[in-house]
């Protein structure tokens, strides 16, 4: 006989405890141990008036946003529905069974107001880094940096050719934000190159084909991570251009040193960060060993001797060519004393024409040239150090560990479902990247310090 539920659904009173209904191993319960919003409340206090109608509790909104970013719920409308219906979400938000869930439009209003004015989301992210430091998850010895393209909420249909510029009727939050970052080295001032297309909906996003497939509008999320447990130490939104990503790397290193007093000894990165001036900045200004492949365009495709075939003698400041002859900057006495630093940042070393003319290696060395010349960057010392480091065991370890930042990007896109931004403008990208990095650090804390392991703080 087929059974039938006969229990009535309408009892007047329930004895119900949300606490008992959230499993001990639920992700939100594990994360909750590391969410301490006390300092956030204090941080926000100056931005709220003491009079008037009470506003929606900012802690509730932050907890809801954390659910959304930790569990890959990308729509705020859907997030509100889910929090309304899901017991674990209600428990995490301290809503009880009958607490009211704010309307999805509340997030947008607060984002454009108090949250951005107070830089709240950065403060929230930094609380997770502080917690990782307290729990001993940050080694502080080796960092890695990288950037990843995230599609912007913009498409080719609503774009104009880059050389035409934005139409006069384009007015929106995103357009106003675009105008404010035109002189920022992480956005408009990162390159003089005009993009092929400009999005009317989100002009600060960059038209890029860098992934090798179809081109699209994108922003870059930049991560600076500690290599011990891949804790994200800092995150920065930039336009999707290599120069902007290098600017972000500098800003993140400086900020990490200022905010947390953490100075890494080595930085692992790919060759996009291996330009001469960036290596010099790391070595001379920050005292960081660059475990970075040197960005070198001196290779020749016609089979003639490359710069690497010429040996540099530090002591005498000369290059020795494969024919055993010297290349110098100055052949005349006294010229060196009068010389000024080169405007383009490159010293020129030349061989004697007489010696080259009679050289048996001439055809391999300077076909069609008057005299052989070798260029040396004013930052070549830092490049030489990076080349020397590339032969060490520590460098091999760094190259392997560098993959940790790529794994974080894969996790960001596949698990947290951030393969496309929902918000527009540089501030929208910044908000989303900060929240995603906060979620990743919280998940890391929850994974490395499970409930049986006593947490140090909180």
Q: Which is nearer to ligand SF4, 356 or 434 (CB)?
A: 356
Question: Among residues 361 and 448, whose Cβ is nearest to ligand SF4?
Answer: 361
Among residues 365 and 385, whose Cβ is nearest to ligand SF4?
Answer: 365
Q: Which of 263, 225, 264 is nearest to 407 (CA)?
A: 225
Handedness of CA 324, 330, 332, 334 (dihedral sign): negative
Q: Quick check: 372 binds ligand SF4 (CB under 6 A)?
A: yes
Collapsing DSSP to helix, strand or coil, 234 comes out as strand
φ and ψ at residue 299, rounded to 5 degrees: -65, 150
Which of 356, 386, 416, 423 touches ligand SF4 (CB under 6 A)? 356
Cβ distance to ligand SF4 smaller for residue 103 or 306: 306
Please identify which residue in 27, 185, 361, 375 interacts with ligand SF4, judged by CB under 6 A: 361
Question: What is the Cα–Cα distance from 115 to 276, expressed in whole angstroms?
Answer: 39
Min CB(380)–ligand SF4 separation in Å? 19
Beta strands in 299-442 (DSSP E): 311-313, 318-320, 326-328, 346-351, 373-377
**Dist CA 116 CA 109 (whole Å):** 10
For ligand SF4, which stretch binds (CB under 6 A), given 132-140, 170-178, 255-263, 352-360? 352-360
Distance of CA 18 to the CA centre of its chain: 38
Closest distance of CB 314 from ligand SF4, Å: 19
State the nearest-atom distance from the C-beta of 207 to ligand SF4, in Å: 44
Of 63 and 366, CB closest to ligand SF4: 366
- Report CA-CA distances (Å) from 237 to 186, 274, 363, 409, 428: 8, 20, 50, 14, 9
How far, in whole angstroms, is CA 45 from its chain's centroid? 30
Q: Does 307 bind ligand SF4 (CB under 6 A)?
A: no
Of 33, 362, 411, 413, the residue at the interface with ligand SF4 (CB under 6 A) is 362
Question: What beta strand segments (E) does 32-126 contain?
Answer: none
Residue 198 interacts with ligand SF4 (CB under 6 A)?
A: no
**Cα separation of 112 and 174, whole Å?**
11
Determine, following the binding rule CB under 6 A, whether residue 359 of this chain makes contact with ligand SF4: yes
Are 427 and 175 in contact by the 8 Å Cβ rule? The answer is no
- Contact of 11 with 4, CB cutoff 8 Å: no
Q: Which stretch binds ligand SF4 (CB under 6 A): 9-17, 114-122, 364-372, 436-444?
A: 364-372
Output 209 or 322, the one with its CB closest to ligand SF4.
322
Region from 24-32, 186-194, 254-262, 350-358 binding ligand SF4, contact rule CB under 6 A:
350-358
Q: Nearest distance from residue 175's CB to ligand SF4, in Å?
A: 56
C-alpha separations of 163 from 153, 200, 207 in Å: 22, 13, 13
411, 35 Cβ separation under 8 angstroms: no
351 binds ligand SF4 (CB under 6 A): yes
Instruction: Report if residue 322 touches ligand SF4, rule: CB under 6 A.
Output: yes
Closest contact distance (angstroms) between CB of 251 and ligand SF4 is 43
Shorter beta-carbon distance to ligand SF4: residue 92 or 319: 319
149 lines the binding site for ligand SF4 (CB under 6 A): no
Q: Is 321 in the site for ligand SF4 (CB under 6 A)?
A: yes
Contacts of 287 (CB under 8 A, 6+ apart): 263
Instruction: Give the interface segment with ligand SF4, choosing from 237-245, 288-296, 351-359, 415-423 (CB under 6 A).
Output: 351-359
Minimum distance from CB of 375 to ligand SF4 (Å)? 14
Rounded CA separation 215/186 (Å): 21
Q: Which of 111, 242, 366, 376 binds ligand SF4 (CB under 6 A)?
A: 366
Total of residues contacting ligand SF4 (CB under 6 A): 13
Smallest Cα–Cα separation from 153: which of 80, 74, 91?
A: 74
DSSP string, 64-86: HHHHHHHTT---HHHHHHHHHH-
255 binds ligand SF4 (CB under 6 A): no
Is 348 among the residues that bind ligand SF4 (CB under 6 A)? Answer: no
Residues at the site binding ligand SF4, with contacts judged by CB under 6 A: 321-323, 325, 351, 355-356, 359, 361-362, 365-366, 372
């Amino acid at each position: 006989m087929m059974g039938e539920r006969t229990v009535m659904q309408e009892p007047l009173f329930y004895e119900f405890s949300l606490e008992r209904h959230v499993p001990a191993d639920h992700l939100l319960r594990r994360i909750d141990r590391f969410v301490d919003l006390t300092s956030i409340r204090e941080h926000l206090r100056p931005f709220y008036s003491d009079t008037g109608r009470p506003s929606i509790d900012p802690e509730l909104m932050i907890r809801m946003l954390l659910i959304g970013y930790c569990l890959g719920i990308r729509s705020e409308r859907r997030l509100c529905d889910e929090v309304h219906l899901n017991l674990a979400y209600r428990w995490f938000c301290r809503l009880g069974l009958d607490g009211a869930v704010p309307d999805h439009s509340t997030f947008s209003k607060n984002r454009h107001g108090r949250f951005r004015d107070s830089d709240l989301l950065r403060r929230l992210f930094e609380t997770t880094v502080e917690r990782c430091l307290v729990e001993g998850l940050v080694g502080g010895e080796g960092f890695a940096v990288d950037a990843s393209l995230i599609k912007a909420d913009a498409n080719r249909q609503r774009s104009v050719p880059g050389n035409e510029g934005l139409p006069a009727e384009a007015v929106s939050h995103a357009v106003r934000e675009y105008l404010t970052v035109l002189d920022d080295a992480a956005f408009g001032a990162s390159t003089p190159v005009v993009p092929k297309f400009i999005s009317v909906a989100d002009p600060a996003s960059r038209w890029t084909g860098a992934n090798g497939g179809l081109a699209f509008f994108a922003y870059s999320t930049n991560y600076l991570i500690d290599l011990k447990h891949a804790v994200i130490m800092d995150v920065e939104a930039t336009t999707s251009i290599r120069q902007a990503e290098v600017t972000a790397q500098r800003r993140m290193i400086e900020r990490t040193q200022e905010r947390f007093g953490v100075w890494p000894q080595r930085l692992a990165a790919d060759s996009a960060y291996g330009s001469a001036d960036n290596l010099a900045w790391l070595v001379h200004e920050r005292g960081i060993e660059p475990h970075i492949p040197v960005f070198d365009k001196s290779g020749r495709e016609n089979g003639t001797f490359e710069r690497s075939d010429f040996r540099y003698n530090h002591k005498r400041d000369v290059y020795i060519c494969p024919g055993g002859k010297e290349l110098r900057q100055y052949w005349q006495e006294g010229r060196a004393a009068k010389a000024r630093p080169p405007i383009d940042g490159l010293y020129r070393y030349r061989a004697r024409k007489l010696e080259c003319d009679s050289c048996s290696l001439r055809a391999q060395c300077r076909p069609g040239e008057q005299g052989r010349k070798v260029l040396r960057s004013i930052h070549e010392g830092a490049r030489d150090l990076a080349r020397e480091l590339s032969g060490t065991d520590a460098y091999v370890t760094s190259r392997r560990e560098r993959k940790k930042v790529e794994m974080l990007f894969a996790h960001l896109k596949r698990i947290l479902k951030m393969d496309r931004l929902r918000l527009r403008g540089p501030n929208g990208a910044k908000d989303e990247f900060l929240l995603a990095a906060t979620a990743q650090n919280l998940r890391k804390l929850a994974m490395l310090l499970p409930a049986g392991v006593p947490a140090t703080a909180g």
